[in-house]
Amino acid sequence: MIYFLSDAHLGSRAIDTPQVHQQRLIDMLCSMAKDATAIYLLGDIFDFWCEYFWYDSSKEQYSPFLQTLKKITSKGIAIHFFIGNHDIWTFGWLEKITGVVVHRKPESIEIHGKRIFLAHGDGLMPSDYVRQLPKKIQKKIQQFIFLRKVFHNPILQFLFRLLPPAWANNFGYEWAKNSRLKELSHPCSYKGEDKEELVLFAKEQEQLGNHHDFYIFGHRHIELDLMLSRESRIMILGDCWQQFTYAQMDNYELRIKNFEL
């Protein structure tokens, strides 16, 4: 069985019981590990993750989770860690400690003869579509794209990693907390087939001849399973901080499920 999950936002300051949350994620992974051949973590597993040049005591809170990853990869089960927009700043330490494979870009993979497009989902939208949007929304998107460039810039990353972790973490966790609180007050909802950016992105790929049987994304914190055509299907995974949803795939089918203890 192959599993896909995303958006746990571990360590979020908007979560009242972080240990309970982390344990639930650990239980979920351990139950998957019973029959998994691979596990794909599709981004934002951490609410804020940065590896500094100095020792960072805040990483200790994740010890149980990191040990679980290590335990699973040691069994020979591959764990693929896609960076999201909250855990961009990993520079080899996470891989070394846990044995996960880090992916910094979307990937096309093949499983059981199916071509699958995998990405966290931030920053993917057809530019034709963006041009049709009201100016105000276009401006917001431009701001997001600018910030994304800043976050991904190697020089700025280098400088940020020089900061004292306690100080930089406070900045990072507070920034991330704001987006969680925003989400709690305005829960994400599906915008519809003609407005949902990831659906439009997948449709554009199909039109461009870059065919995939499945598109699987995180990022949006909504659960979606939609046929784009007879041969192509998109899935958005929900999240693992409130809904605890995930997808599983075997020889026969791909489907979204809810993790229950």
Residues that bind Mn ion in the complex, under the rule CB under 5 A: 44, 84-85, 219
Nearest distance in Å: CB 114, Mn ion: 25
Nearest distance in Å: CB 86, Mn ion: 6
Nearest distance in Å: CB 218, Mn ion: 6
Residue 180 vs 212, nearer CB to Mn ion: 180
Residue 62 vs 82, nearer CB to Mn ion: 82
Nearest distance in Å: CB 34, Mn ion: 28
Joined together, the tokens standing for residue 181 give 């609180």
Residues in Cβ contact with 41 at an 8 Å cutoff, skipping those fewer than 6 apart: 5, 6, 79, 80, 81, 82, 100
Residue 73 vs 121, nearer CB to Mn ion: 121
Placement of tokens 């520079």 in the chain: 91
Among all residues, whose Cβ is closest to Mn ion? 219
Residues in Cβ contact with 72 at an 8 Å cutoff, skipping those fewer than 6 apart: 29, 30, 33, 36, 39, 79
Residue 80 vs 219, nearer CB to Mn ion: 219
**CA–centroid distance for 189 within its chain:** 17
Joined together, the tokens standing for residue 54 give 């100095």
Nearest distance in Å: CB 146, Mn ion: 17
| Distant-in-sequence contacts of 183-191, Cβ < 8 A, 24+ apart | 183/221, 184/14, 188/220, 188/221, 188/222, 189/222, 190/222, 190/224
Residue 123 vs 126, nearer CB to Mn ion: 123
